[in-house]
Amino acid sequence: MFIKRIMLVAGLSLLLAACSTGRVPNANDAYLKGTPSQMGERYLLGRGVPQDDAKAFQYFSQADDDPYAQNELAYMYATGKGTPQNYNKAFYYYKAAANHGLASAQYSLGLCYLHGLGTTPDKILALSWFKKSADQGFEPAKRALKKYES
Spatial separation of the C-alpha atoms in residues 62 and 71, rounded to whole Å? 13
Half-sphere exposure of 113 (CA within 13 A, CB side): 20
Mean pLDDT value across residues 6-29? 40
Q: Collect contacts of 20-28 with beta carbons under 8 A, ≥24 apart.
A: 25/49
Is there a contact between 49 and 41 (Cβ–Cβ < 8 Å)? no
pTM of the model: 0.78
Spatial separation of the C-alpha atoms in residues 149 and 9, rounded to whole Å? 66
pLDDT at 33: 76
Mean pLDDT value across residues 62-70? 94
pLDDT at 150: 76
> Where are the domains positioned within the chain?
34-148
Q: Express each pLDDT in 73-116 by its tens digit.
A: 999 999 999 999 999 999 999 999 999 999 999 999 999 999 99
- Examine the pLDDT at 66 and tell me if it is beyond 50: yes
8 pLDDT tier (thresholds 50, 70, 90): very low
The CA dihedral of 106, 107, 109, 110, to the nearest 10 degrees, is 120
CATH homologous superfamily of 34-148 equals Tetratricopeptide repeat domain (1.25.40.10)
- Examine the pLDDT at 26 and tell me if it is beyond 60: no
pLDDT at 38: 96
Is there a contact between 129 and 122 (Cβ–Cβ < 8 Å)? no
